[in-house]
Amino acid sequence: MHSIHLFIIASFVHHVLSQSTESSRTGLATSAVIADYPTSGTSYANDGITITLPTTVDYASITDLSSAMGTDNTTAAASTSTSGNSTTSSPSQTLLVGTARTTTTLNGTATRNATASRTTSSARPSNTAPCNGHPDFCQRKYSNITYIAAHNSPFIRPGNLAANQMLDVEAQLNDGIRMLQFQTHYVNGTVYLCHTSCDILNAGTLEDYLITITKWLRANPYDVIAVLMGNDDVIDPMNFTGPVVNSGLIDFVYTPPTVPMPIESWPTLAEMIFRNERAVVMLDYQANQTAIPWLLDEFSQMWETPFSPTDRDFPCTAQRPPDRPRDVRLDRMYMANHNLNLEVSFAGFDLLVPFYPLLNETNAVSGYGSAGVAVSNCTQMWDRPPNFILVDYYNIGSYNGSVFQVAAEANNVTYNRDSCCGTAGVQSIAARLLEGSDARKIYVFVVVVGIASSWFL
């Protein structure tokens, strides 16, 4: 039996190395992308109809929000620009105090049982830069900022081919990641964080993951984040309310006034922080905002470029939701998927894995296939930069955290290169391992060994 496996593995190695050699000459294969999201049982809401949602936020009652936030209106004059994320950076430090919230509400009316976790934001740290580290962002709308998003944020297991990140979620947030994206799977009544299958990579329960995020939000009361959950099993959205409530994240969720949300309808970061609504929680499929207003329907609120791309040109064409006119797309936030994948096909099987050897180019500020070039192309095509740049292994690039430099340039602010990344030396070690023209061959060999080991177990 083992001899048969070895023959298959040898054939597979030959096939993969042939693919890799061809890719090194012409770029990555551009065959049909393997979907990394549910392709059946899904639908997209009609975002041509505006629905007003119940909300407790009344910003009109705040007469001078900029004064309350410790910021100056004169530094925020450019924040309303829709032609790009334009403003200037200020190095000043500001003490910012938001409003504490204690609630266990599920949707503004129904309440969770008394065992649900409760959180407050009473901490008042001093000498802290507000508004995601840039005081100038305070008076800029949430929809007028470019954020770096961690693709499959929880999947960090070393040696596992399904991993997409190297540093844990706390390090991600500390380094500046402001959207956490991931897949979920429903197993025996519990929502787990699993990549493709819980037999391949299981990062634990959604509730445990959200507890870590909630603790970070408590400790960082001047930051706004997004959580984008992939509903891969296309289950009822009520299955996500328990983990959000019991983790305490419910105390920080943002509830929009309408669905969909046009670009200009989003609040400023100052408004979100002042109200302590600092977590934008989205679900890609099955969300029902009339029932659960704070669980945002992703594709009513924004659109995406092609997901799990294998094309190094990273076209900034709209993929999901399909069939929307350009004027509608221009009035929504959007996410550029910039996580490069290697697609390997053999004997009827399709495998899609992060293309690790090219991370120093994919996450770079400039050069072919770089995040910097992709953002520039998107900006030209859509008259403004993407709101989210979804990346694998964010800490690796042309230098540590180069993807944050890309976002900083899109936002017209400065970035401190010394602020990244969570583990010293990670970048240099990875770079040394992947140097040389045979990097692709080494990588696909590792892929094959990983597959083979699972056959022999």
- What's the pLDDT tens digit per position in 243-260? 999 999 999 999 999 999
Best CA proximity match to 42, nearest among 232, 313, 324, 316? 232
Which of 134, 185, 195, 338 does the annotation list as catalytic?
195
Catalytic (active site) residue 195: yes
Of 167, 256, 254, 168, nearest to 213 (Cα)? 168
Instruction: Give residue 405's pLDDT.
Output: 97
In the chain, the amino acid numbered 106 is L
Domains and CATH numbers, the chain: 32-432 (3.20.20.190)
Residues 240, 245: Cα–Cα separation, whole Å: 9
Q: What is the structure's pLDDT at 37?
A: 82
pLDDT of residue 344: 63
List 134, 151, 185, 338, catalytic entry: 151
**pLDDT tens, position by position, 164-195:** 999 999 999 999 999 999 999 999 999 999 98
DSSP state of 35: P
Q: Low-confidence residues of the chain, pLDDT below 50?
A: 1-33, 57-84, 86-127, 346-349, 424-439, 441-443, 445-446, 448-457
Whole-model pTM: value is: 0.79
Instruction: Extract the tokens encoding 327.
Output: 């004027």
pLDDT recorded at residue 55: 61
pLDDT at 350: 61
**Residue 292, CA distances (Å) to 206, 218, 241, 256 in order:** 18, 23, 8, 11
Residue 151 designated active-site: yes
Rounded to whole angstroms, the Cα distance separating 205 from 222 reads: 27
